Amino acid sequence: MDTMEQLRQECSDCRLCRLCETRTNLVFGVGNEHSDIVFVGEGPGEKEDLQGIPFVGPAGQLLDVMLKLIGLKREDVYICNIVKCRPPQNRDPAPEEREACSVWLKRQIACIDPKIIVCLGRISATSLISPSFRITREHGQWYEIEGRRVIATYHPSALLRDVSKRPEAFADFREIRTAMRSLGHVLDPLALTSDNTQKDKENSL
Ligand code: SF4
């Protein structure tokens, strides 16, 4: 079994697909390597490519807020992407790029052995749940895949573009909170208090 550090080093010079030609930094993943939960986004954007860290731009800040609202911190979870190198102009990663990079994601997941995987957005859900996955219709539903519970929600970038989707996304995060609690995690009870406070927080997302 790989350690995450071995895996990171092995991946660091990956040239399995053409995205290696345009990356500034490979963006491997970050967070708690022993977490019960892994969040999988699509691919690095401009800021992530420059810093080598996933979800550091505005979408990452929104993800941090959503985690906080269910009593989680970035350090509690592991965060990575379907592809580790930035697609030029932030285009969708091509099927062959996703396929090439899946070898790394599979080994990351095997190394962490999480109970829950959260797909952030369509690209992640169609890669990990089903090629025909419809994020607008099927987000928030649980799937059992290779012994793990898998759920999809909107990508934070989509929530930045369309704030009307935020209440649906927050409902998905409540599902995630319930699942984490069922695993015995005591999530910060102050994160969610009264209904009014809850509404204020959801509106502030
Ligand atoms: S995107 Fe993945 S498969 Fe392609 S070069 Fe980067 S690490 Fe390798």
Count up the domains in the chain and report the number: 1
CATH code, domain with 151: 3.40.470.10
Q: What is the structure's pLDDT at 187? A: 87
| Structural domain span for residue 53 | 4-204
Q: What is the pTM of this model?
A: 0.93
Q: What is the structure's pLDDT at 137? A: 97
Token couple for 142: 């649980």
What residues does ligand 1 touch, defined as CB less than 6 Å away? 11, 14-17, 19-20, 26, 83-85, 97, 100-101, 104
Ligand 1 centroid to 84 CA: how many Å? Answer: 6
pLDDT above 70 for 194: no
Atom of ligand 1 nearest to the CA of 43: 1
- What digits encode the pLDDT tens for the residues 81-125? 999 999 999 999 999 999 999 999 999 999 999 999 999 999 999
Mean pLDDT, the chain, integer: 93
For residues 104 and 26, the answer to whether their CB atoms sit within 8 Å is no
Atom of ligand 1 nearest to the CA of 20: 5
Nearest residue to 66 (alpha-carbon basis) of 184, 166, 180, 162: 166
